[in-house]
Structures are given as C-alpha cells and as structure tokens.
Amino acid sequence: MGNINKPCFSNGTEYDDWLSRNCCRCIKSPKEHWDEDGMTWFSKSRCKIYDEIENQCFGYGNEPVSENTHNAAKLLDCPYRKEHWDKKVKKDKDKSQNLF
C-alpha cells in the first residue's frame, strides 16, 4: 500500500461531518487534557486514521496519507471505528454467560 497525495475531503464541512460521524463516536478518539505543566492543552489520539487526516487538514497542507486512510475517508462509516457501546455490550455478554 502506497501513499496518496490527494486531499481526503473536498471542504471543511465534509471533513467536519465525517469527523462527527466517526471519530467523535470512537473509543480511539483523542483524549484532550492539560500537559503536566498545566499550561498546554493538547489531544492524544490512538488512531492512525485520525492522525493522518488531522495532519493533512491542519498540518502541512498536501501531506500524503496512506491508502487505508484515504479509502476510509471516502466511506460514510469508518471501517476502523470502535464505538463506545461495543465495549459495554461485550462486557454485558460476558456477565450473562456466567449467570448459571
């Protein structure tokens, strides 16, 4: 898989819609917090797709992204998204199996 030098989104609205539909519902979304010095607000992501899209949109302009990132951004739902409720459902299933 190579890198693609095309923008993932055609405009900011498309980017914002995709981000709110996918990244904001994902457990791998960035966790925003203050740095140890208490002076710097930053976010730490656990998702390569999110990081590459952010670098392309706000970092270095036409920064190349991986083919996986570009293809995921063209879909309505990100194939790598793990929703918050998926984790809870799995825990509930594990508990229900041990009832009897």
Which pLDDT tens digit goes with each residue over 16-57?
A: 999 889 988 888 877 665 566 666 666 677 888 988 888 888
More confident residue, 77 or 36: 77
In the chain, the percentage of residues whose pLDDT exceeds 70 is: 65
The strand pair at 65-66 and 3-4 is best described as: antiparallel
Q: Considering only CA atoms, which of 13, 19, 6, 23 is closest in space to residue 66?
A: 6
